[in-house]
Amino acid sequence: MTTVTVPAIPFDAARVERIQKARRYAPDHAVDRVVRGMFRTDTVIDRVVADFAALDRGTGWQLLGTALRTQDPAPPGAPESLTELLTPLLNPPDWLDPARIRRGAELWWRFAPAVIVGLGGTLLTAYAFGDLNKPQAMNSRSETMAARRYEETSRWVLAATDPGTLIPGGTGFDATIRIRFVHAMVRRHLRTCGRWDTRAWGEPIHTTGMAVTAQAFLLTPLTMYELLDMPITADEAESMRQLWYWIAFLMGIPDELLPHSIEDAADLNRAATIIFAPPDEDTAVLTTALLKGGLRAERVLPQPLHPYLAPVLRPVISSLVWGTTGRIVATIVDPEAELPRNHPVIRVLRQHAKLRELLRRNGRLGADAHIAVTQRRVLSGALDLMKAAPAPVDPRTAVTPRP
């Protein structure tokens, strides 16, 4: 295969060494796309956020709300940048198949534990790399508000993968566009804080980081289904790929980093996880925050008990859940490791999954659409029980600088 020429990037000897290692595990074109993407950002929405900052306070967000509600990319008073952003999103490309996207969402939710492990693993994986974790570390929400960030991310995942709502006018569509604004708001802060090191970390919230995150939401549940002996046909996997391809497109990920096939997504993520910087002190800080307080477990009990039980329940439950998820996912993303088929949690879930598959094939669980509804309730019900954050993070409150 012909090597794609990578444009000049800030020199980092350690990164160059990791790039060469990545070429042993992934095609050259995947490696080169990953490297290019580390020094590129979503410039379209960056211009919108800059224009919003020049308007009267709150005006830009009102214009965005109007545009999404009316499905008009150019509401009166909107800057040209907002129209440029929303026009291709509110007028989807010909390749979008809404029925296939809906089908992909239904299939993605076939077994909630696979999705929940994938969700937690995606957060932990982002923390594991000393460059990819910098936006979270420097924005501090993931350190001081670890539980809330997980809850808000879970709410977005629930919204974005709610079957049938990821088209213009749908709640999943709107939530995903707003998360794209969250990224832009944080990126704007990081660029002006005076502490961002592009040579060491790439651009803040770069396109490769966004792509790897979106594709992890596709690949990790698929791997979990494989570990749990839940067969996914090639056509079913393709529907899930198209779901996350569309989500990634809405998030502003450029074409060369979109998952054009399951294999392509795997190649990109394999290359990226080798090229990204190794764990550092921020990895420890962010991971510890999850292990000690990533789940507000005390909230399932009466409110007067919260102050007394939080210091005990939060670290115990958080360490159990996040520690287990971390060990499973760390093996999944390691290109040199075997899949953790014999992990105790995997073995227990596999037995449950086999029974569910038997019932599903016999029609006892209903159609895929009904299964998705019941499985989504596993996560939404747990969040509601913990009185979790009710919605994804609002772009207007996305920036919380580290003291």
Please write the tens of the pLDDT for every residue from 93-129. 999 999 999 999 999 999 999 999 989 888 888 899 9
pLDDT band at 3 (very low <50, low <70, confident <90, very high): very low
CA distance 383 to 152: 10
Please write the tens of the pLDDT for every residue from 356-383. 999 999 999 999 999 999 999 999 999 9
pLDDT for position 402: 59
Q: Does the pLDDT value for residue 5 go beyond 80?
A: no
Most confident of 191-195, 276-280, 318-322: 276-280
Among residues 262, 198, 395, 278, the alpha carbon closest in space to that of 18 is found at 278
C-alpha atoms less than 13 angstroms from C-alpha of 123 in its C-beta half-sphere: 30
Which of 139-171 are b and which e, b meaning 16 or more Cβ less than 10 Å from the residue's Cβ?
Answer: bbbbbebbbbbbbbbbbbbbbbbbbebbbeebe
What's the token pair of residue 344? 């105790």
Taking residues 67-71, report their average pLDDT.
Answer: 97
Taking residues 224-243, report their average pLDDT.
Answer: 97
pLDDT above 70 covers what percent of the chain?
A: 96
Q: DSSP for 63-117?
A: HHHHHHHHT-SS-TT--HHHHHHHHHHHS--TT--HHHHHHHHHHHTSSHHHHHH
pLDDT band at 11 (very low <50, low <70, confident <90, very high): confident
Average pLDDT taken over every residue of the chain? 93
Taking residues 346-351, report their average pLDDT.
Answer: 96
Q: Does the pLDDT value for residue 197 go beyond 50?
A: yes
Taking residues 43-53, report their average pLDDT.
Answer: 97
pLDDT for position 116: 94
pLDDT for position 199: 93
pLDDT for position 143: 64
Name residue, tokens 């019941």: 374
